[in-house]
Amino acid sequence: MSENRNHWSPCQRKAPWALVFSATLVALFPLGLAAQTSSSDQGSGYGTGIQSPLQFAGENAPENLVNLSFGAAAFYDDNVLGSNSDRVGDEALSLSSRFGVSRQTEHVSLNFGYNPFFHLYRQFSQYDQLNQSADLSLALHLSPRFILGLHDGFGYLYGGYPTLTEQPILSGTTPPTSLNQLILPYTIRTLSNVAGLNLTFEKSRRTSITLSAGYNLDRFGNQGGVGQPLYNGKGASGGVTVTYLISEHTGLGFHLLHQDDTYRGGSIFGYEDRTQIESGLFFVKSQLSPKLTVTLNGGPQYVHTLGLSSGEAGVAEGFYGAGGGSVTEEVRSTALTFSIQRNVSDGGGLYTSVINTSANLGVRRRFVGRWEADLHGGAARGDTQLSQAATENTDVAIGGIDFRRPVLNGSMLHISYATMHELNKGTLPVFHGFDRNQVSIGFDFRVKAASLGQ
């Protein structure tokens, strides 16, 4: 456990610098990743594509604004420790804030948000800690044919639930280099960062070529003796995507991706493991109607292990199949998205690389009286069949519903319920499964919104 603390302490020192770096980018470069392109937009079904918030038909995100908001909520957590064997509930107060910047022009676009929040438990004061998350996306039209894009998502969070404040439902297929969001690190301090850089060359109105590079990092704090040590992970990726528009509303393409991930600190696959994944994936994205969009993807992945330290189970080399898709329908009173994906990805700290199969559903619905409900759910399985000697599966199911209604002076009333369930099956000595539920009621207040002009 001391080795885990040694790995963790540098991350604690670096965490504020990541936020300073993101804020500096915003101050110096008023840009964003909502690139207004033709072929590159159609080709974002997989690979370098970024998921977008689920919206109603005709709904547009606020543009050219700086805004600041605060939130306060009371909630009950029925499993604060994240352990079914020592199940304890507690009441708590959640205090949150959100600073956002949106800038859209003909040649540049920016979306930036910073969200610090604090939980105050009635009995478990040791969990009263500051949490932070930030997200940045930018794009710059360097010329009529070249588009430069950057995206970065950062989190420094404690506990299984990242925040009780409003989180948008995302539509589309999850990029293959994103960290595993459904296999959960229990009640543990977690630092994560996913960043990427894209350069798109629009050869013609129908054809585009995108070069991409990415970096991901996850670090877990002191686990307090709750189970086997988790794997800290870091990785880099690079790829090229070729997209061709076969019609005004349909694009297809091919994505080549190289991923190099290193895991340290665990014991199931040895203390250190390095895995390289080569992917060749076809994809198609079609807007079948103004309200309905469908994406499909699939292809082979080759897994190769380097520098495996002594451990109980090494990762088997070879070819594996990847594939999935998504459906998004956005009408005036109901918006729905569903996606499913199977590929080789990280094991969320429990394992190194696993075959991850996941499905996600999101629904937004408007009701009478200015009420709106957001329903989200997801299920995933992390399968260690990649391994030469491991027989372990981790199954996860999460879900929640949030009822919201605007009230006086720009404030928002919300009533929420969230649940998560995790079950581990097999012969490896990993964490025990757990179940957890939260109910909350609170208000969000918009303090200030200033226009940035056109």
Both tokens assigned to 164: 């009780």
User: What average pLDDT does range 182-187 have in this prediction?
Assistant: 60
How many Å separate Cα 316 from the centre of its chain? 27
Q: Tens digit of pLDDT for each residue in 34-47?
A: 333 344 454 455 66
What gap in Å lies between CA 32 and CA 49, rounded to an integer?
A: 14
Both tokens assigned to 17: 């610098």
Annotated domain spans of the chain = 2-451
Q: Mean pLDDT of all residues in the chain?
A: 80
Which residues sit opposite 346 in a β-bridge?
353
pLDDT on residue 373: 94
Tell me the three state secondary structure of residue 246.
coil
pLDDT on residue 243: 93
pLDDT class of 15 with cuts at 50, 70, 90: very low
Q: How many CA atoms lie within 13 A of 203 on its CB side?
A: 10
Pick the residue with more confidence: 421 or 180?
421
Do residues 157 and 11 touch, judged by C-beta distance below 8 A? no
pLDDT on residue 28: 34
User: What average pLDDT does range 230-254 have in this prediction?
Assistant: 91
pLDDT beyond 90 at 211: yes
What φ, ψ does residue 19 adopt, rounded to 5°?
-70, -40
Do residues 412 and 384 touch, judged by C-beta distance below 8 A? no
pLDDT on residue 40: 46
pLDDT beyond 50 at 333: yes
Pick the residue with more confidence: 35 or 64?
64
What gap in Å lies between CA 219 and CA 19, rounded to an integer?
A: 16
Do residues 295 and 281 touch, judged by C-beta distance below 8 A? no
What gap in Å lies between CA 186 and CA 424, rounded to an integer?
A: 13
User: What average pLDDT does range 275-301 have in this prediction?
Assistant: 92
User: What average pLDDT does range 178-201 have in this prediction?
Assistant: 78
pLDDT on residue 46: 63
pLDDT on residue 200: 93
What gap in Å lies between CA 184 and CA 167, rounded to an integer?
A: 18
pLDDT class of 23 with cuts at 50, 70, 90: very low
Class of 2-451 in CATH: mainly beta
Produce one character per residue of 289-323: b if its CB has 16 or more CB atoms within 10 Å, e if not. Answer: eeeebbbbbbbebebebeebeebebbbeeeebebb
pLDDT beyond 50 at 225: no
Produce one character per residue of 208-217: b if its CB has 16 or more CB atoms within 10 Å, e if not. Answer: bbbebebebb
Q: Tens digit of pLDDT for each residue in 138-179?
A: 999 999 999 999 999 898 887 655 444 456 788 877 777 666
pLDDT on residue 401: 92
Query: Which residues touch 111 (CB under 8 Å, ≥6 apart)?
Result: 32, 33, 34, 61, 100, 101, 102, 135, 136, 137, 138
Which residues sit opposite 283 in a β-bridge?
253, 297
Q: For the whole model, what pTM was predicted?
A: 0.82
Do residues 367 and 401 touch, judged by C-beta distance below 8 A? no
pLDDT beyond 90 at 19: no
pLDDT beyond 90 at 17: no
What gap in Å lies between CA 372 and CA 367, rounded to an integer?
A: 6
- Give Cα separations from 391 to 155, 312, 351, 428 (angstroms): 31, 11, 12, 7
Do residues 363 and 335 touch, judged by C-beta distance below 8 A? yes
Strand 272-289 versus strand 250-264 pairing type: antiparallel
Q: Tens digit of pLDDT for each residue in 88-120?
A: 999 999 898 989 999 988 899 999 999 998 889
Q: Tens digit of pLDDT for each residue in 359-405?
A: 999 999 999 889 999 999 989 888 887 776 567 788 889 889 999 99
Both tokens assigned to 432: 């025990």
Q: Which of 19-23, 210-214, 234-238, 293-297 has the lowest mean pLDDT?
A: 19-23
Q: How far apart are the first and last CA of the chain?
A: 54
Both tokens assigned to 172: 């589309």
Q: Tens digit of pLDDT for each residue in 298-311?
A: 999 999 887 654 44
pLDDT beyond 70 at 4: no
CA-closest candidate to residue 80, choices 71, 93, 89:
89
Strand 65-77 versus strand 412-426 pairing type: unpaired
What gap in Å lies between CA 135 and CA 447, rounded to an integer?
A: 20
Produce one character per residue of 190-201: b if its CB has 16 or more CB atoms within 10 Å, e if not. Answer: bbbbbbbbbebe
pLDDT on residue 72: 92
